[in-house]
Amino acid sequence: MSNEVFERVSSNLLFRHRFSCLPTDGKWKKSGKPLSEDHEIPHFGRFEGQEKFADFRVGWTAEGLFFDVTVRGKSQSVWCRSTQILESDAVLVWIDTRNTQSIHRASRFCHWFVFLPAGGGSQRNTPMGSMLKINRAKENPKTFQMFRPCIFAKTNASGYRLQFFIAGSALTGWDTQDHQTLGFNYLVNDRELGTQTLATGSEFPISSDPSLWHSIRLVDG
């Protein structure tokens, strides 16, 4: 793994991690935007006793953030429902464009997204994505109306590959020149395999407390 982990500091008996996010070239297409192995981020959840079942890759351009997630090891079909997105097989992502890790209530720079490999359409086989409001937030982002799901998924007998793009226009405070370090967290939810997080487990209020998130730094390569 070539992705460099360059900080690991302890805070209130928890570890806060920071890692590099490598750039990528090209633009989002309807057929997705695959990322190389160099874009894979470490799975610190193993220190929490989690079993890794998803490869999680992140890349960036000035236009936004690209994600490429592969889930393996399933023996059951994906379970996704548009009316139960938080109970579905899904990838959840949190982003703070100011990386303010001293706050316990989200600011307007904090964002929550969820992406499903299926669940949309009349046959429930269309991938879907949504931007959610963070519970107890002091202020919500002003970019909800700017969010457009850019998502591509391919399922197979043992899992799925899910690629999605979050445009900078959907992120309040997106500025790759002056703010290269972002607060970041993810959770891969699977009704069969369980949960995989970046580090801190889902037993903590990671969906609403930005102080429990970690950091990515947008590097030039």
Query: Is 43's pLDDT higher than 90?
Result: no
Could you give the percent of the chain with pLDDT greater than 70? 92
Q: Supply the pLDDT for residue 8.
A: 43
Query: Is 2's pLDDT higher than 70?
Result: no
Average pLDDT over residues 48-64: 93
Are the C-beta atoms of 164 and 90 separated by less than 8 Å?
no
Query: Is 111's pLDDT higher than 90?
Result: yes
Average pLDDT over residues 93-105: 95
Sequential DSSP letters for the chain: --PPEEEEEEETTEEEEEEEEEE--S---TT-----GGGBPP-GGGGGTPPP-EEEEEEEETTEEEEEEEE---SS-----TT-GGGSSEEEEEEETT--TT-SS--TTEEEEEEEEEEETTTT-EEEEEEEPPTT-SS--S-GGG---EEEEEEETTEEEEEEEEEGGGSTT--TTT--EEEEEEEEEETTTEEEESSS-TTS-TTT-GGG-EEEEE---
Q: Supply the pLDDT for residue 14.
A: 54
Are the C-beta atoms of 200 and 210 separated by less than 8 Å?
no
Mark 131-150 as b/e (b = at least 16 C-beta within 10 Å): beebeebeebbebeeebebb
Q: What is the pTM of this model?
A: 0.91
Q: Which one is predicted more confidently, 45 or 159? A: 159
- Residue 15: band (very low, low, confident or very high) from pLDDT cuts 50, 70, 90: low
- Residue 49: band (very low, low, confident or very high) from pLDDT cuts 50, 70, 90: confident
Are the C-beta atoms of 66 and 59 separated by less than 8 Å?
yes
- Residue 17: band (very low, low, confident or very high) from pLDDT cuts 50, 70, 90: confident
Q: Supply the pLDDT for residue 7.
A: 45
Average pLDDT over residues 55-64: 98
- Residue 135: band (very low, low, confident or very high) from pLDDT cuts 50, 70, 90: very high
Q: Supply the pLDDT for residue 47.
A: 66
Query: Is 59's pLDDT higher than 80?
Result: yes
**Domain coordinates in residue numbering, the chain:** 49-218
Query: Is 11's pLDDT higher than 80?
Result: no
Quote the mean pLDDT of the chain.
91
Q: Supply the pLDDT for residue 6.
A: 40
Q: Supply the pLDDT for residue 4.
A: 45
The class that CATH gives domain 49-218 is mainly beta
Q: CA angle, corner 131, sides to 24 and 74, nearest 5? A: 70
Cα gap 119→79, rounded to integer Å: 8
